[in-house]
Amino acid sequence: MAHRTTPEPGHFVKVATVGDITAGNVLAARLRSEGIEVRVHSPALGPYPVTVGRLAETELWVLSDRVADAASVLLDAEVNDAIAAADPEIDHVTTTRPFDRQVIALALGAIMVGLFIAAIIRVY
Q: Report the domain count for the chain.
A: 1
pLDDT tens-digit profile of 13-49?
999 888 888 888 989 999 999 999 999 988 877 777 7
pLDDT tens-digit profile of 75-89?
888 777 777 677 666
> Which one-letter amino acid corresponds to residue 107?
A
Q: Are 13 and 64 in contact (CB under 8 A)?
A: yes
Among 29-43, 61-75, 96-110, which is the least confidently predicted range? Answer: 96-110
Residue 30 lies in a domain: yes
Q: Which pTM was predicted?
A: 0.59
Buried-exposed string 78-92: b where 16+ CB fall within 10 A, e elsewhere: eeeeeeeeeeeeeee
Residue (of 17, 72, 63, 75) closest to 38 by Cα position: 63
Residue 119 lies in a domain: no
C-alpha distance from residue 29 to each of 78, 87, 97 (Å): 14, 24, 22
43/2 Cα distance (integer angstroms): 34
Residue 4 lies in a domain: no
Residue 50 lies in a domain: yes
Domain that holds residue 65: 12-93
Tell me the CATH number at 60: 3.30.70.1530
